[in-house]
Chains A and B, each alone.
Chain A
Amino acid sequence: MKDTQNNITEVDKDAAKQALASIQSTQQETIEHSRPPMWLSAITGLSYGAIVAGYGLMRHENQWALMMIVGGAIFAFSVAIYLYRCHLLGIKPAILPRSNASKRLNIYSALFFAVMVVVSRELTLFTELNFIPWVCGLMCGGVLVWLQRMYPTGEVVSMERPNE
Protein backbone atom coordinates (compact mmCIF):
# COMPACT_ATOMS: atom_id res chain seq x y z
CA MET A 1 0.00 0.00 0.00
CA LYS A 2 1.36 3.38 -0.95
CA ASP A 3 2.00 5.65 1.99
CA THR A 4 0.35 9.05 1.76
CA GLN A 5 1.40 12.19 3.55
CA ASN A 6 -2.04 13.84 3.66
CA ASN A 7 -3.08 12.47 7.02
CA ILE A 8 -6.45 13.45 8.44
CA THR A 9 -5.81 15.62 11.45
CA GLU A 10 -9.36 16.17 12.64
CA VAL A 11 -12.85 15.31 11.46
CA ASP A 12 -15.67 16.84 13.43
CA LYS A 13 -19.18 15.46 13.80
CA ASP A 14 -20.61 17.59 11.01
CA ALA A 15 -17.94 16.51 8.54
CA ALA A 16 -18.49 12.86 9.46
CA LYS A 17 -22.25 13.27 9.04
CA GLN A 18 -21.70 14.91 5.68
CA ALA A 19 -19.39 12.10 4.54
CA LEU A 20 -21.89 9.44 5.62
CA ALA A 21 -24.72 11.30 3.88
CA SER A 22 -22.61 11.44 0.73
CA ILE A 23 -21.99 7.66 0.88
CA GLN A 24 -25.69 7.06 1.48
CA SER A 25 -26.87 9.19 -1.44
CA THR A 26 -24.23 7.79 -3.83
CA GLN A 27 -25.16 4.20 -3.04
CA GLN A 28 -28.87 5.00 -3.23
CA GLU A 29 -28.34 6.56 -6.66
CA THR A 30 -26.36 3.55 -7.93
CA ILE A 31 -29.00 1.14 -6.67
CA GLU A 32 -31.84 3.15 -8.21
CA HIS A 33 -29.88 3.25 -11.47
CA SER A 34 -29.50 -0.52 -11.56
CA ARG A 35 -33.02 -1.39 -10.32
CA PRO A 36 -34.90 -3.31 -13.04
CA PRO A 37 -38.16 -1.85 -14.36
CA MET A 38 -41.28 -3.04 -12.54
CA TRP A 39 -42.57 -5.01 -15.56
CA LEU A 40 -39.36 -7.05 -15.68
CA SER A 41 -39.46 -7.70 -11.92
CA ALA A 42 -43.11 -8.76 -12.25
CA ILE A 43 -42.35 -11.19 -15.10
CA THR A 44 -39.41 -12.68 -13.16
CA GLY A 45 -41.49 -13.02 -9.98
CA LEU A 46 -44.54 -14.49 -11.74
CA SER A 47 -42.48 -16.99 -13.74
CA TYR A 48 -40.62 -18.09 -10.62
CA GLY A 49 -43.94 -18.45 -8.80
CA ALA A 50 -45.20 -20.55 -11.74
CA ILE A 51 -42.20 -22.89 -11.40
CA VAL A 52 -42.85 -23.42 -7.67
CA ALA A 53 -46.64 -23.82 -8.09
CA GLY A 54 -46.22 -26.06 -11.15
CA TYR A 55 -43.79 -28.31 -9.31
CA GLY A 56 -46.13 -28.59 -6.33
CA LEU A 57 -49.18 -29.43 -8.48
CA MET A 58 -47.41 -31.70 -10.98
CA ARG A 59 -48.63 -35.32 -11.04
CA HIS A 60 -47.34 -37.75 -13.66
CA GLU A 61 -46.53 -35.06 -16.20
CA ASN A 62 -49.97 -33.41 -16.23
CA GLN A 63 -50.55 -29.85 -17.50
CA TRP A 64 -48.85 -28.39 -14.41
CA ALA A 65 -45.57 -29.85 -15.62
CA LEU A 66 -46.00 -27.77 -18.76
CA MET A 67 -46.61 -24.68 -16.59
CA MET A 68 -43.37 -25.43 -14.74
CA ILE A 69 -41.39 -25.80 -17.98
CA VAL A 70 -42.88 -22.65 -19.57
CA GLY A 71 -42.30 -20.78 -16.27
CA GLY A 72 -38.68 -21.95 -16.24
CA ALA A 73 -38.11 -20.77 -19.81
CA ILE A 74 -39.66 -17.35 -19.12
CA PHE A 75 -37.68 -17.05 -15.88
CA ALA A 76 -34.38 -17.82 -17.65
CA PHE A 77 -35.23 -15.34 -20.41
CA SER A 78 -36.14 -12.55 -17.94
CA VAL A 79 -32.89 -13.10 -15.98
CA ALA A 80 -30.95 -12.90 -19.25
CA ILE A 81 -32.70 -9.60 -20.11
CA TYR A 82 -31.90 -8.27 -16.63
CA LEU A 83 -28.19 -9.17 -16.92
CA TYR A 84 -27.95 -7.73 -20.43
CA ARG A 85 -29.64 -4.52 -19.26
CA CYS A 86 -27.13 -4.23 -16.39
CA HIS A 87 -24.29 -4.76 -18.85
CA LEU A 88 -25.60 -1.94 -21.05
CA LEU A 89 -25.89 0.34 -18.01
CA GLY A 90 -22.29 -0.40 -17.03
CA ILE A 91 -23.03 -2.48 -13.95
CA LYS A 92 -21.94 -6.02 -13.25
CA PRO A 93 -24.14 -7.39 -10.47
CA ALA A 94 -22.45 -9.56 -7.85
CA ILE A 95 -23.43 -13.17 -8.56
CA LEU A 96 -21.32 -14.43 -5.67
CA PRO A 97 -21.76 -12.23 -2.59
CA ARG A 98 -18.69 -10.46 -1.25
CA SER A 99 -19.71 -8.79 2.00
CA ASN A 100 -20.84 -10.79 5.04
CA ALA A 101 -24.26 -9.12 4.99
CA SER A 102 -24.72 -10.20 1.36
CA LYS A 103 -23.62 -13.75 2.16
CA ARG A 104 -26.16 -13.91 5.01
CA LEU A 105 -28.93 -12.58 2.76
CA ASN A 106 -28.08 -15.15 0.07
CA ILE A 107 -28.09 -18.03 2.55
CA TYR A 108 -31.44 -16.97 4.09
CA SER A 109 -32.98 -16.46 0.63
CA ALA A 110 -31.76 -19.85 -0.60
CA LEU A 111 -33.12 -21.53 2.54
CA PHE A 112 -36.47 -19.78 2.15
CA PHE A 113 -36.83 -20.78 -1.51
CA ALA A 114 -35.75 -24.36 -0.77
CA VAL A 115 -38.23 -24.70 2.08
CA MET A 116 -41.02 -23.22 -0.05
CA VAL A 117 -40.35 -25.68 -2.91
CA VAL A 118 -40.32 -28.67 -0.54
CA VAL A 119 -43.43 -27.48 1.34
CA SER A 120 -45.22 -26.78 -1.95
CA ARG A 121 -44.61 -30.34 -3.13
CA GLU A 122 -44.68 -32.49 -0.03
CA LEU A 123 -47.49 -30.81 1.87
CA THR A 124 -49.76 -31.00 -1.19
CA LEU A 125 -48.98 -34.70 -1.65
CA PHE A 126 -49.85 -35.45 1.97
CA THR A 127 -52.87 -33.22 2.45
CA GLU A 128 -54.23 -32.99 -1.14
CA LEU A 129 -54.87 -29.29 -0.53
CA ASN A 130 -54.25 -27.83 -3.97
CA PHE A 131 -54.12 -24.21 -2.87
CA ILE A 132 -50.80 -24.72 -1.01
CA PRO A 133 -48.56 -24.63 -4.14
CA TRP A 134 -50.30 -21.42 -5.26
CA VAL A 135 -49.64 -19.78 -1.89
CA CYS A 136 -46.00 -20.96 -1.93
CA GLY A 137 -45.57 -19.79 -5.54
CA LEU A 138 -47.03 -16.40 -4.70
CA MET A 139 -44.75 -16.05 -1.66
CA CYS A 140 -41.64 -17.05 -3.65
CA GLY A 141 -42.55 -14.65 -6.47
CA GLY A 142 -43.21 -11.84 -4.00
CA VAL A 143 -39.93 -12.36 -2.15
CA LEU A 144 -38.03 -12.48 -5.45
CA VAL A 145 -39.58 -9.18 -6.59
CA TRP A 146 -38.72 -7.64 -3.20
CA LEU A 147 -35.11 -8.85 -3.46
CA GLN A 148 -34.84 -7.42 -6.98
CA ARG A 149 -36.19 -4.04 -5.85
CA MET A 150 -34.11 -3.82 -2.67
CA TYR A 151 -30.83 -5.42 -3.76
CA PRO A 152 -30.69 -5.21 -7.56
CA THR A 153 -26.88 -5.43 -7.67
CA GLY A 154 -26.72 -8.45 -5.38
CA GLU A 155 -24.86 -6.57 -2.65
CA VAL A 156 -26.38 -5.45 0.64
CA VAL A 157 -25.69 -1.82 1.46
CA SER A 158 -26.73 -0.03 4.62
CA MET A 159 -29.76 2.16 4.03
CA GLU A 160 -29.84 3.85 7.41
CA ARG A 161 -29.83 7.62 7.36
CA PRO A 162 -26.87 9.15 9.23
CA ASN A 163 -28.84 12.25 10.18
CA GLU A 164 -31.61 10.33 11.88
Chain B
Amino acid sequence: MSDLDPIIHAPNRLQICAMLATSAELDFKLIKLQLDVSDSVLSKQLKVLEEAEYIVTSKRSNQGRPCTWVSLTEYGRAAFNTHVAALKKIIA
Protein backbone atom coordinates (compact mmCIF):
# COMPACT_ATOMS: atom_id res chain seq x y z
CA MET B 1 0.00 0.00 0.00
CA SER B 2 2.97 2.31 0.61
CA ASP B 3 3.72 2.55 -3.13
CA LEU B 4 0.36 4.17 -3.82
CA ASP B 5 0.79 7.91 -4.17
CA PRO B 6 -1.95 9.90 -2.38
CA ILE B 7 -1.36 12.90 -4.64
CA ILE B 8 -1.89 10.91 -7.84
CA HIS B 9 -4.60 8.60 -6.53
CA ALA B 10 -7.40 11.22 -6.57
CA PRO B 11 -9.57 10.39 -9.64
CA ASN B 12 -9.10 13.67 -11.53
CA ARG B 13 -5.37 13.83 -10.84
CA LEU B 14 -4.98 10.20 -11.86
CA GLN B 15 -6.65 10.96 -15.19
CA ILE B 16 -4.54 14.10 -15.67
CA CYS B 17 -1.33 12.10 -15.13
CA ALA B 18 -2.60 9.32 -17.43
CA MET B 19 -3.27 11.86 -20.19
CA LEU B 20 0.08 13.60 -19.75
CA ALA B 21 1.94 10.28 -19.88
CA THR B 22 0.84 9.83 -23.50
CA SER B 23 2.55 12.92 -24.92
CA ALA B 24 5.16 15.62 -24.36
CA GLU B 25 2.74 18.45 -23.59
CA LEU B 26 -1.02 18.97 -23.52
CA ASP B 27 -3.10 22.10 -23.73
CA PHE B 28 -5.13 23.08 -20.64
CA LYS B 29 -8.28 23.25 -22.79
CA LEU B 30 -7.86 19.71 -24.05
CA ILE B 31 -7.47 18.34 -20.51
CA LYS B 32 -10.51 20.32 -19.39
CA LEU B 33 -12.54 19.02 -22.33
CA GLN B 34 -11.58 15.40 -21.73
CA LEU B 35 -12.11 15.47 -17.97
CA ASP B 36 -15.32 17.48 -18.35
CA VAL B 37 -14.54 19.76 -15.40
CA SER B 38 -14.59 23.52 -14.89
CA ASP B 39 -11.54 25.78 -15.23
CA SER B 40 -11.35 26.31 -11.48
CA VAL B 41 -11.51 22.59 -10.64
CA LEU B 42 -8.80 21.77 -13.17
CA SER B 43 -6.61 24.66 -12.02
CA LYS B 44 -6.89 23.44 -8.44
CA GLN B 45 -5.91 19.88 -9.38
CA LEU B 46 -3.02 21.10 -11.52
CA LYS B 47 -1.79 23.30 -8.68
CA VAL B 48 -1.62 20.28 -6.35
CA LEU B 49 0.40 18.35 -8.94
CA GLU B 50 2.61 21.36 -9.65
CA GLU B 51 3.37 21.88 -5.96
CA ALA B 52 4.40 18.24 -5.74
CA GLU B 53 6.70 18.90 -8.74
CA TYR B 54 4.91 16.23 -10.78
CA ILE B 55 4.01 18.61 -13.59
CA VAL B 56 5.18 21.89 -15.06
CA THR B 57 2.97 24.45 -16.75
CA SER B 58 4.06 27.05 -19.25
CA LYS B 59 2.01 29.92 -20.63
CA ARG B 60 2.59 30.68 -24.28
CA SER B 61 0.83 32.87 -26.75
CA ASN B 62 -0.79 31.18 -29.75
CA GLN B 63 -1.80 33.69 -32.45
CA GLY B 64 -2.39 36.33 -29.80
CA ARG B 65 -4.35 34.03 -27.48
CA PRO B 66 -2.75 32.86 -24.23
CA CYS B 67 -2.43 29.07 -23.93
CA THR B 68 -1.35 27.01 -20.95
CA TRP B 69 0.65 23.89 -21.79
CA VAL B 70 1.07 21.18 -19.18
CA SER B 71 3.69 18.43 -19.10
CA LEU B 72 4.80 15.69 -16.72
CA THR B 73 8.24 16.06 -15.15
CA GLU B 74 10.61 13.09 -15.00
CA TYR B 75 9.83 12.90 -11.29
CA GLY B 76 6.09 12.94 -12.01
CA ARG B 77 6.43 10.27 -14.70
CA ALA B 78 8.35 8.04 -12.30
CA ALA B 79 5.74 8.62 -9.57
CA PHE B 80 2.90 7.80 -12.00
CA ASN B 81 4.64 4.61 -13.18
CA THR B 82 5.22 3.54 -9.56
CA HIS B 83 1.57 4.22 -8.76
CA VAL B 84 0.37 2.17 -11.75
CA ALA B 85 2.73 -0.67 -10.79
CA ALA B 86 1.34 -0.60 -7.23
CA LEU B 87 -2.25 -0.78 -8.55
CA LYS B 88 -1.32 -3.74 -10.75
CA LYS B 89 0.30 -5.42 -7.77
CA ILE B 90 -2.95 -5.13 -5.81
CA ILE B 91 -5.04 -6.86 -8.48
CA ALA B 92 -2.39 -9.51 -9.23
Contact = CB atoms under 8 A, between A and B. Distances in A.
Interface of A: 1-2, 4, 6-13, 16-17, 19-20, 22-23, 26-27, 29-31, 33-34, 87, 89-95, 98-99, 153-155, 157-158, 162
Interface residues of B, number: 37
Given A23-B14, A94-B23, A89 B4 contact: no
A22 B9 CA distance: 11
Contacts of B71: 92
A20 B22 contact: no
Interface of B: 1, 4, 6-7, 9, 11, 14-15, 18-19, 21-30, 34, 51-53, 62, 67, 69, 71, 74-75, 77, 81, 84, 87-88, 90-91
B7 A23 contact: no
Nearest to B62: A87
Nearest to A7: B6
Secondary structure at the B interface, as helix, strand, loop or mixed, is helix
A154 B18 contact: no
A17 B91 contact: yes
A17 B87 CA distance: 8
B21 A92 contact: no
B6 A8 contact: yes
A45 B75 CA distance: 36
Contact of A8 (B9, B19, B21): B9
Contacts of B30: 33, 89-91
A98 B26 CA distance: 15
A-B pairs with lowest CB-CB distance, top 6: A90-B27, A90-B30, A92-B25, A153-B23, A16-B90, A94-B24
A4 B1 contact: no
Contacts of A87: 62
A16 B23 contact: no
